Amino acid sequence: MLFWLAELGGGMVGFLHCCIQRRRNAGPWAELLLMEMGTHAQWRRRGIGRSLLAAMEEWMRTHGMEEVWVPANLYATGFYEKCGFAKDEGEILVKALG
């Protein structure tokens, strides 16, 4: 499991949690499953979520990961699509790096 935290003023304002998975499409490469992500209500719409995703994507690049996917929920789908994810397999959102 991997975790990223966003801290400001000595407190946590956001987090991102993901797991390394074997590729869903039966290929030999690993990918990330983004399990959960959240931003404290007072800090939403200030770039915290995008910063957490950017940190995760940088880690992916340095570790040879090519894809991240997240089971979509109604409230977050628009955010993920704005960050470059696309719907795949129904309610799963996927982003390929590169």
Average pLDDT, integer, range 17-22: 88
pLDDT of residue 30: 77
CATH class of the structural domain 2-96: alpha beta
**Cβ atoms of 15 and 52 closer than 8 Å:** yes
Give the span between the Cα atoms of 89 and 24, in whole angstroms: 11
Average pLDDT, integer, range 12-28: 80
Task: Tell me: pLDDT of 93 over 80.
Answer: no
pLDDT in tens, 37-88: 999 999 999 999 999 999 999 999 998 888 898 887 778 888 999 999 988 7
pTM of the model: 0.84
**What is the residue type of 54?**
A
pLDDT of residue 16: 97
Question: In 9-66, which ranges are E strands?
Answer: 11-22, 30-39
